[in-house]
Amino acid sequence: MNSIGIVGGGIAGLHLGLYLRHHGITCTIYGDQTPEAIAKGRIQNTVAHHNTTLERERQIGIDFWDAARYGYFCHWHYFGFETPLHFRGDFSDPSLSIDYRLLLPRLMEEYLRRGGKLDLGRSFEPADVVRVSERHDLIVVCSGRGSLAKMFPRIDALSPYDRPQRQLCAGFYRGVARSQPVGVYWSVWPGAGEVLELPITWREGPVTAMLFECIPGGPQDVFRDLDYEQNPKEFDQTVLQLFENHYPKTYERINTSEFGLTGPLELLKGAVTPVVREDYIEFGNGKFALALGDAHVVVDPIVGQGANAASYSAFVVGEAIVGDYVYDRLFCERVAHRRAERLQGLAAWVNMTLAPPTQNLIDLVGAMSQNQSICDEFTRNFNAPERQWEILATPERTHAFLRSRLAR
Ligand SMILES: Cc1cc2nc3c(=O)[nH]c(=O)nc-3n(C[C@H](O)[C@H](O)[C@H](O)COP(=O)(O)OP(=O)(O)OC[C@H]3O[C@@H](n4cnc5c(N)ncnc54)[C@H](O)[C@@H]3O)c2cc1C
C-alpha cells in the first residue's frame, strides 16, 4: 500500500491529506502546531478562497461554510489618482473568507475522522524529513515559507526579488459596514501602497479584515514602530487617519466611535520575500520529496492568491499520486510540468503587481474602469491567475486582449 508523508499541516498539507484520504491513500501529516494552538493563536493571514478552490472543497465534501451565505461577490477598486478611479468587477460565483483559526482545526478534525494520521507538536529539521522518508513512498514538504523550504533550491530566473516589496500589517476591525454588494475593496494610494478590505468570518461572526500593503520607507510604512499592546488608541487612531486621508471609499462606511482592532491576537505584521523554488529533491536513500504551497512558490498577498495556489497544487499532487504507482523522478517531473503554467503565471503576475505600474497595466486598469465586461473578466480570472499573466506578460498581449474584447 502506498504511504505518503506530509510535512506541514497548513492549507496545503490538509487539502492534500484530505484529497488522499478521499481516495483511500494512507498518509501522515507531520506538523508543529496542534489544532488547539491554532484556534487560540494569532491570526495567520486574511485568506479568501475563490470559487475554484471552493469547488475542490465541494468535490471532496469539506465545504463547511456556505459561500452564498458567508461569502462575497465582487471586487471594488479605488485608485487615489488626482482624478480618482472607482469601479467594480463581479464574480460569477462567490468567494469566501473564513478565519484560518476556525478553518484549519475543522479540516484537521475531518482529516482524522477520515482515517488520516496526524503527528503533531514537533518542528522538523531537514534531517527529520530524510528520517521519516524511510517510512513513506513519497514525502511532500508543505511547511510554508519558513526555513525548511530552503531544502528546495531557489529558481533565480523566476524569483526577481531578494527582499520584501511590501511591509504588511493585517488585522480584524470592528465598526466597518460592509459594502453593497458585499465585496473586497482593493484600494491604492499611489506611491505609498495598497489596502485590501475583506469581509471575513471569525468565531464571533462577520468582521472586516484590513491588509495594509506598505511600500518600504513610503508614507504608509507606519506600522513597524506602532505597538498596539502599548498604546491601542494610538494604533486605532493611526489606522483611522489613513482611511480618512487616503481611502475615502472605506472611510465613508466606518463608524468612528466603534472602529478599532478586535484584539491583540487579530494583528499580524511582517513581510514576504517572493520566491519560486525547485519542485522536488532526491534523498540519498532513493526517495523523493516534492515541495508544495508556500514551501514551493511564495507570493506577496497583494492579490490574495497563495492559499488558492496551494490548494490547486495540492490537488495536482494528489491526482498524480492516485494516478501512479511509483513516486520516482518521472513522477516528480510530471507533477512539475502539470502545475508549472498556473504557478509560474501566478508568480509573474503578482510580482508585476508589486513593481511600479507599467504602461500596459495602466492601460488595462483604464479599460476596466470603462468597460464592465473587461472588469468582470479580470475579476473572474482570480480563479485562474495564469490568465492575468497571459493578458499582462507583454504590452502586445495586453493591447491585443483589449482589442479583442472591445471588438465584441
Ligand atoms: C496577511 C496575509 C494575507 C493573505 N491573504 C491571502 C488571500 O487572500 N488569499 C490567498 O490565497 N492567500 C493569502 N495569503 C497567503 C496564504 O496565507 C499562504 O499562501 C498559505 O497559507 C500557504 O499555505 P501553506 O500550507 O503552504 O503554508 P502555511 O500556511 O505556512 O502552513 C505551513 C504549516 O507547516 C507548519 N510548519 C512550518 N515549519 C514546520 C516545520 N519545520 N516542521 C513542522 N511543521 C512546520 C506550520 O506551523 C504550518 O502549520 C495571505 C498571507 C498573508 C500573510
pLDDT tens sequence across 217-263: 999 999 999 999 999 999 999 999 999 999 999 999 999 999 999 99
Length of the chain: 408
Q: What is d(CA 103, CA 64) in angstroms, rounded to the nearest whole number?
A: 9
Q: Give residue 408's pLDDT band: very low, low, confident or very high (50, 70, 90).
A: confident
What are the tens digits of pLDDT across the range 157-169?
999 999 999 999 9
| Ligand 1 mean position, distance from CA 161 (Å) | 20
Q: What is d(CA 10, CA 399) in angstroms, rounded to the nearest whole number?
A: 39
Residue with CA at minimum distance from ligand 1 atom 30: 144
Test site for ligand 1: of 44, 45, 95, most ligand atoms within 8 A of the Cβ: 45
What are the tens digits of pLDDT across the range 86-95?
999 999 999 9
Q: What is d(CA 49, CA 65) in angstroms, rounded to the nearest whole number?
A: 11
Overall pTM surpassing 0.95 (yes/no):
yes
Test site for ligand 1: of 15, 16, 32, most ligand atoms within 8 A of the Cβ: 32
- pLDDT of residue 32 exceeding 70: yes
26-35 burial, b if ≥16 CB within 10 A, otherwise e? ebbbbbbbbb
| Ligand 1 mean position, distance from CA 49 (Å) | 13
Question: Cβ contacts of residue 197 below 8 Å, gap of 6+?
Answer: 176, 179, 184, 185, 187, 208, 209, 210, 250
Q: What is d(CA 244, CA 254) in angstroms, rounded to the nearest whole number?
A: 9
3-state secondary structure of 12: helix
- pLDDT of residue 58 exceeding 70: yes
Test site for ligand 1: of 294, 349, 353, most ligand atoms within 8 A of the Cβ: 294
Torsion angles phi and psi, residue 395, rounded to 5: -60, -35
- Residue list, ligand 1 pocket, CB within 6 Å: 7-13, 30-33, 45-48, 123-124, 142-144, 146, 148, 168, 170, 211, 268, 293-295, 301, 304-308, 310
Torsion angles phi and psi, residue 245, rounded to 5: -85, -25
Q: What is d(CA 151, CA 204) in angstroms, rounded to the nearest whole number?
A: 39
Q: Is 358 left (phi over 0), alpha (psi -120 to 50) or beta?
A: beta
Q: Which H/E stretch holds residue 41?
A: none
- pLDDT of residue 1 exceeding 80: no
